[in-house]
Amino acid sequence: MYEFNLTLDLPFDRAEPRVREALMSEHLGVVSEVDVQAIFKQKLGKDIPAYKILGACNPGLADRIIQAEPNAGTLLPCTFVLREAGRAQTVVSFMDPVAVFDLAAAPEVHRVADEARERLQRVAAKLQNG
């Protein structure tokens, strides 16, 4: 399994701030954002439900990964997908850092992946418990 997901009983515009808040509570800042809905509309003329990709990162964890295996930076940041799944539901999917960083060889990268997974699981628990 390369990702975890959950469904929030919230419309997209209310779910997104909750996700950002839960990430910040675990010291994971949003360092990149792709509004897929807007890109598809602009580039393809295609209308899709709200869909955003957020890149979340903790600089301390990222530093440990890059120090241990500089090219493992290609696996950063942790990716979150928020997508509208009906008028009052939003699916939140996020990568499993253990699965992704299993591609790296350095033991320290694997330790950081375990720590990151714990943080992300706490984010998921906060989102599920409101």
Question: Is this prediction's pTM over 0.95?
Answer: no
pLDDT at 1: 81
Q: Which residues constitute the domain of residue 52?
A: 3-128
| CATH number, domain containing residue 67 | 3.30.310.70
Residue 22: is its pLDDT beyond 90? yes
Number of structural domains the chain divides into? 1
Instruction: List, for residues 29-44, the tens digit of each pLDDT value.
Output: 999 999 999 999 999 9
Instruction: List, for residues 63-78, the tens digit of each pLDDT value.
Output: 999 999 999 999 999 9
Measure the CA dihedral 55/34/92/85, to 10°. Answer: 180
Residue 92: is its pLDDT beyond 90? yes
